[in-house]
C-alpha cells in the first residue's frame, strides 16, 4: 500500500511539473543546471582552440581525470583523436601547489611530443589554490624544461566561470598576446578571421576559406582546426595536422581588421585586437541568405574585393530552394537552445523561412544577448509572440515545451531527453552532437551551409509526416510518395 501511494504521488508530482503553475515556480528559482546544454570553459579554452595552431600541444595544469573528460567530449563529437596532456596534479599538489608538476610536465611534453608550441590552461584545482601560471612557466624555463625562446602561451580557464565560449575567448586572447605583446604594428591589407567555438568547425572553416578565396581576399584564419579534426585514415598518425602557422599568428598583428564569426565567443579577443589599431567586426553565426549577405558585404567593404558571380549564383540557388519548400516550413513553430551566437543565427534563418522561433533559450547568454535576441524577434512578423530566455537550462525548456508546445526542437544531443519526455521532435544542430555522426564535416555558414540547414530541417519535417501517417486505413491518408 505504501509503495503504491508513493508511486501515485510521484506520478501526480510528475504531471504537476508539466503545468503553468510549476513553470512559474521553475522560472522564478532561476537556473539549477539540471542540464545546461553548455560546456565548461575548459572544453573551449583548454583544448579546442589550441589544435587550431601549427604543432601545438594543449597542456592542462590540473588532474588527468579533468583532461580525460575534455578529450572524450571532443572526440565523441568530432570522431577524431584529441591529443592533450596534463600536469597530473593530485592531492599533494592541491595542498602545496603544482609548481613541480608544471616543471616536469613541460619538460616531458617538450621532449616526448616535439611540439612547436605548448599552450597552457587551468582547471578548477589550480585556480582555487591560486597557482600563478606566468610565474610557474618562468620557473620551468629557468629549470630548462623548455628553451628560453620556446612559445608557451597561457590562459586562466576556471570551470566555474562562464562556459566553453568564455574559455575559448580567454585562450585565444592569451595566444595572441603571447605573439603580439611588445611588438609594433605595421598595418597591412590582410584580414584576420576567427571562427569561434564551433561544432561545425571543419565544414564551416573550409566554406569560409572557399568564399574568401573566390573573392581574392588575403586572410589568416586564427585557430584553424579544420584539418586536425578531419584527418585521413591512410596509415599515418597526425598528432599535429594543419593549423595556423606560428609565423602567420605573429604577423596577424599587422592585419587591417579582425573579423569574428561569433560575437559572444570573442569579446575579449576583439577588444584586444582593437587596442592594437585594428578594425573589428563580428557576426552571430551567419546562417541563411541575409546572414551570408551581411558577411560577404562586410568583407567586400573592408577589403575592397567584389563579390564574385559564383557566390551570387549560390545565393540564388538557396533562395530557389527556400521557395520550393516554403509550403512545408511556413508557419511551423520551433524551440531553439544553444550558444548565444548559434541561437541568433538559427532564429534569423527560421524567420527567413517563414517559421516561428517561439522559444529561444541560451544558458550562457547574458543580458546583452537577450536584448539583441528580442530586437531580432521584433524585426519580423514571424517573431511576434516569440520569446528569448537567457541563463536558463533545459529543465526550463521542458516547462516551455509542456506549457507552450511547438512543432520542433533544435539543439544538441542532450535534447533527446526532452524529445522523449515531451514528444517534441529534435533536430540536431549545435554542440555536442554525440549520437549522430559526421555533421561537423558539413558547413552551416554561407549559402551552401544555409542549404544544409534547410535540408536538415525539411528532412525532419517529412520524417514526422511519414511517421504520423503510416497506419493503414487509419492515418495513411497523407502517406504520400511526393512531398
- Residue 431 C-alpha cell reads as 554542440
Locate cell 564551416: which residue? Answer: 204
Nearest Cα residue to 361 out of 346, 350, 379: 346
- Position 413 scores a pLDDT of 97
- Rounded-to-integer distance, Cα 436 and Cα 303, Å: 39
Half-sphere exposure of 306 (CA within 13 A, CB side): 4
Is 124 catalytic? The answer is yes
Q: For 418-458, how does the pLDDT look when each residue is reduced to its tens digit (9 = 90+)?
A: 999 999 999 999 999 999 999 999 999 999 999 999 999 99
The pLDDT value recorded for residue 479 is 84
Cα separation, 260 vs 157, in Å, equals 21
Q: What is the mean pLDDT of residues 189-194?
A: 98
Q: Which of 51-55, 356-360, 384-388, 451-455 is the least confident region? A: 51-55
Note the helical H segments in 263-339. 267-275, 288-303, 309-329
Residues 344 and 267: their CA atoms lie apart, in Å, by: 16
The secondary structure of residue 240, as a DSSP letter, is S
* pLDDT, tens digit, 9 for 90 and up, residues 164-190: 999 999 999 999 999 999 999 999 999
Distance, in Å, from the CA atom of 189 to the CA atom of 173, rounded to the nearest integer, reads 22
The confidence score (pLDDT) of residue 50 equals 66
Tell whether the model's pLDDT for residue 96 goes beyond 80: no
Q: pLDDT tier at 156 (50, 70, 90 boundaries)? A: confident
Report which DSSP code applies to 478: G
pLDDT for position 2: 58
Which helix (H) or strand (E) element contains residue 117? strand 117-122
pLDDT of residue 172: 95
Helix (H) or strand (E) holding 119: strand 117-122
Asked if residue 316 has pLDDT above 90, the reply is yes
Q: Which of 120, 124, 386, 444 is catalytic?
A: 124
Tell whether the model's pLDDT for residue 42 goes beyond 60: no
Percent of the chain whose pLDDT exceeds 70: 94
CATH number 3.40.50.1980 given to 326-467: yes
Q: Contact 75/81 with Cβ under 8 angstroms?
A: yes
Instruction: Find all residues with CB under 8 Å of 157, minimum gap 6, and list them.
Output: 41, 42, 44, 45, 46, 121, 122, 123, 166, 167, 170, 171
Alpha-carbon span 210 to 219, nearest angstrom: 12
Q: Where in the chain is the domain with CATH 3.40.50.1980?
A: 41-163, 326-467
* pLDDT at site 95: 76
Domain 41-163 matching CATH 3.40.50.1980: the answer reads yes
Statement: the pTM of the whole predicted model exceeds 0.85: yes
Mean pLDDT of 83-103: 86
Share of the chain above pLDDT 90, in %: 78
| Averaged pLDDT of the chain | 92
For residues 146 and 43, the model is more confident at 146
Taken in order 437, 441, 445, 451, the sign of the CA dihedral is: negative
Contacts of residue 225, defined as CB under 8 A and 6 or more positions apart, other chains included, come to 48, 49, 51, 52, 201, 202, 205, 242, 243
Kindly report whether the peptide bond that precedes residue 100 is cis, defined as omega within 30 degrees of 0: no
Please indicate whether residue 43 is annotated as part of the active site. Answer: no
State the pLDDT confidence band at 150, using cuts at 50, 70 and 90.
very high
**pLDDT for 159 beyond 80:** no
* pLDDT > 60? residue 6: yes
Q: What is the mean pLDDT of residues 377-405?
A: 97
What pLDDT score does 245 carry?
97
Q: How many helices (H) and strands (E) does the chain have?
A: 19, 12
pLDDT one-digit tens code per residue, 47-74: 556 689 999 999 998 888 888 888 898 9
Q: What mean pLDDT do residues 355-377 have?
A: 98
Give the residue with greater pLDDT, 37 vs 184.
184
Query: Confidence class of residue 130 from pLDDT cuts 50, 70 and 90?
Result: confident
Q: Which of 79-88, 247-256, 466-475 has the highest mean predicted lDDT (pLDDT)? A: 247-256
What distance in Å separates the CA atoms of residue 79 and residue 48, rounded to the nearest whole number?
14
Task: Compute, in degrees rounded to 10, the torsion defined by CA atoms 252, 40, 365, 432.
Answer: 90
Instruction: Give the confidence band of 5 by pLDDT, cuts at 50, 70, 90.
Output: low
C-alpha cell of 199? 561544432
pLDDT at position 55, please? 96
Q: Grid coordinates 548565444 are at which residue? A: 340
| The pLDDT value given to residue 89 | 86
The reported pLDDT for the residue numbered 125 is: 76
Bridge partners for 390 per DSSP: 362
Q: Please state the separation of Cα 93 from the chain's center in Å.
A: 32
**Residue-wise pLDDT tens digits, 208-245:** 999 999 999 999 999 999 999 999 999 999 999 999 99
Place of cell 582552440: 49
Amino acid at each position: 500500500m505504501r509503495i503504491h501511494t508513493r508511486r501515485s504521488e510521484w506520478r501526480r508530482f510528475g504531471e504537476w511539473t508539466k503545468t503553468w503553475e510549476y513553470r512559474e515556480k521553475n522560472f522564478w528559482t532561476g537556473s539549477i543546471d539540471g542540464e545546461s546544454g553548455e560546456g565548461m570553459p575548459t572544453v573551449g579554452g583548454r583544448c579546442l582552440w589550441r589544435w587550431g595552431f601549427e604543432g601545438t600541444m594543449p597542456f592542462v595544469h590540473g588532474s588527468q581525470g579533468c583532461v580525460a573528460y575534455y578529450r572524450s567530449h571532443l572526440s565523441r563529437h568530432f570522431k577524431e583523436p584529441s591529443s592533450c596532456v596534463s600536469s597530473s596534479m593530485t592531492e599533494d599538489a592541491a595542498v602545496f601547489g603544482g609548481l613541480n608538476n608544471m616543471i616536469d610536465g613541460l619538460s616531458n611534453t617538450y621532449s616526448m611530443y616535439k611540439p612547436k608550441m605548448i599552450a597552457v590552461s587551468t582547471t578548477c584545482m589550480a585556480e582555487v589554490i591560486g597557482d600563478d601560471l606566468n610565474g610557474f612557466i618562468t620557473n620551468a624555463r629557468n629549470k630548462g624544461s623548455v628553451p628560453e625562446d620556446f612559445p608557451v602561451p597561457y590562459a586562466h580557464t576556471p570551470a566555474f566561470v562562464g562556459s566553453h565560449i568564455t574559455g575559448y575567448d580567454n585562450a585565444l586572447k592569451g595566444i595572441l598576446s603571447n605573439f603580439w605583446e611588445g611588438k609594433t604594428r605595421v598595418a597591412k591589407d590582410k584580414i584576420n578571421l576567427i571562427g569561434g567555438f564551433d561544432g561545425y568547425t571543419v565544414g564551416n572553416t573550409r566554406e569560409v576559406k572557399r568564399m574568401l578565396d573566390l573573392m581574392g581576399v588575403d586572410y589568416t584564419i586564427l585557430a584553424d582546426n579544420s584539418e586536425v579534426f578531419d584527418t585521413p585514415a591512410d596509415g599515418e598518425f597526425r598528432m599535429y595536422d594543419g593549423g595556423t602557422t606560428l609565423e602567420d599568428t605573429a604577423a596577424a598583428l599587422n592585419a587591417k581588421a579582425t573579423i569574428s564569426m561569433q560575437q559572444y565567443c570573442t569579446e575579449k579577443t576583439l577588444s584586444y585586437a582593437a587596442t592594437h589599431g585594428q578594425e573589428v567586426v563580428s557576426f552571430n553565426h551567419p546562417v541563411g541568405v541575409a546572414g551570408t549577405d551581411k558577411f560577404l558585404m562586410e568583407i567586400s567593404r573592408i577589403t575592397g574585393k567584389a563579390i564574385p558571380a559564383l557566390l551570387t549564383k549560390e545565393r540564388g540557388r538557396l533562395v530557389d530552394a527556400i521557395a520550393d519548400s516554403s509550403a512545408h516550413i511556413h508557419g511551423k513553430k520551433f524551440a531553439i537552445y544553444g550558444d548565444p551566437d548559434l541561437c541568433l543565427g538559427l532564429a534569423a534563418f527560421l524567420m527567413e523561412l517563414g517559421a516561428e522561433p517561439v522559444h529561444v533559450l541560451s544558458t550562457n547568454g547574458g543580458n546583452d544577448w537577450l536584448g539583441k535576441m528580442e530586437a531580432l524577434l521584433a524585426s519580423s512578423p514571424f517573431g511576434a509572440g516569440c520569446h528569448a530566455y537567457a541563463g536558463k537550462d533545459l529543465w526550463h525548456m521542458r516547462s516551455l515545451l509542456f506549457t507552450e508546445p511547438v512543432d520542433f526542437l533544435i539543439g544538441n544531443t542532450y535534447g533527446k531527453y526532452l524529445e522523449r519526455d515531451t514528444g517534441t521532435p529534435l533536430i540536431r544542430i549545435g554542440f555536442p552532437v554525440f549520437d549522430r555522426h559526421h555533421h561537423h564535416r558539413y558547413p552551416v555558414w554561407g549559402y551552401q551551409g544555409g542549404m544544409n540547414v534547410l535540408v536538415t530541417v525539411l528532412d525532419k519535417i517529412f520524417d514526422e509526416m511519414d511517421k504520423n501517417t503510416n497506419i493503414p486505413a487509419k492515418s495513411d491518408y497523407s502517406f504520400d510518395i511526393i512531398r
